[in-house]
Amino acid sequence: MHPMLNVAVKAARRAGSVIQRASLNLDTIRVEKKKHNDFVTEADRAAEDAIINVILEAYPKHAILAEESGAKGIGSSEYEWIIDPIDGTTNFLHGHPQYGISIAMAHKGQIQQAVVYDPSRNDLFTASRGVGAFLNDRRIRVSKRFMMNECLIGTGFPVSDQSYIDQYLGMLKDVIGKTAGVRREGAASLDLCNVACGRTEGFFELNLKPWDIAAGSLIVQEAGGIVTDFTGEQGWFESGDIVAGSPKVLAQLLQLLAPHVSK
70: left (phi over 0), alpha (psi -120 to 50) or beta: left
Strand spans (E) along the chain: 31-35, 38-41, 63-66, 70-72, 79-87, 100-107, 110-118, 123-128, 132-135, 138-139, 152-155, 181-184, 202-205, 226-228, 242-245
Helix (H) or strand (E) holding 170, with range, is helix 165-178
DSSP, collapsed to helix, strand or coil, labels residue 262 as coil
Count other Cβ atoms within 10 Å, centred on residue 106. Answer: 21
Is residue 191 a known part of a binding site? Answer: no
Is residue 185 a known part of a binding site? Answer: no
The sign one gets for the Cα dihedral 174, 176, 178, 179 is: positive
Tell which residue, 123, 81, 78, has the closest CA to residue 98.
123
Is residue 86 a known part of a binding site? Answer: yes
Is residue 140 a known part of a binding site? Answer: no
Is residue 78 a known part of a binding site? Answer: no
Count other Cβ atoms within 10 Å, centred on residue 31. Answer: 13
Tell which residue, 36, 67, 259, has the closest CA to residue 162.
36
Point out the annotated binding site for Mg(2+): 67, 84, 86-87, 212
Point out the annotated binding site: 67, 84, 86-87, 212
